Structures are given as C-alpha cells and as structure tokens.
Structure 1
Amino acid sequence: MSNARNLANLLGTKTKVKDVDVDGTELVLDSDGDTSIEASSDDIMVFDTAGSERLRLDGSG
C-alpha cells in the first residue's frame, strides 16, 4: 500500500464537494466550534479562529 493511501486510511474518508452554499450562515470548521467562515452580510466574508474575528473581506478587498 502506498504512503498516500496509508495516510488517507489514517485520516479517514475524504469527500470532494464542487459547490457549497451555506446561504449566509456560519461554516464551522473544527470540533469545538471556534473556527469558522461566514458571510455576515452581502459581499462580506468573516474568518474566525479561536473564537475571535481574524480577517474580514468586503467588496473592496
């Protein structure tokens, strides 16, 4: 078995998704719920880690 396959087996199953629409809600990325990406309002993305906002992107970049 290849190293890549061993790593995949160790980490669990992988899922590829082409498009994800969370319709403006928060996408939680870890088990304790303090790392997320959300679209807080139209054309604004907010990135949180450790429960705090770390990056906010709007239409101007």
Structure 2
Amino acid sequence: MTKKIEVDFELCEANGVCMGILPEVFELDDEDFLHVLSDEVTPENEAKVREAVRQCPRQAISIRE
C-alpha cells in the first residue's frame, strides 16, 4: 500500500518549515502558498517526511497510509 502526504490547507500557514526539511517535496510559491511537488512517501524520503510532519508548527501535514 502506498503512503501519501496530505496537507490540510485550512491549517497551513505556509511557514516553510517543511520546505526547509524536504525542498524536493514541499515548495512555497511567490505568494507564500504551499505546493506538494510529490505526494508519495517512499523509503528514500520517509524519514524526512516524518520529520516535516513532526515539525509543522500548525500540524497541517500528515501521512495517509
């Protein structure tokens, strides 16, 4: 079963903490709107995705299994 990154955009304040941890997955545009470039959690990025989930100030990021 594939794990996916989910962002609750109602909670997200686009602080950019996640982008600092994993810029190949999270990106802030010029208007400070967060984009998820790839929502798949892979064995290669899972530790950093979990770190982004843990460090999100608004707890807006989760992993759907």
Please give the TM-score of this superposition, normalised by the length of structure 2. 0.21
- Structure with greater helix percent: 2
- Structure with greater strand percent: 1
Please give the TM-score of this superposition, normalised by the length of structure 1. 0.22
Q: Over alpha carbons, which structure has the higher Rg?
A: 1
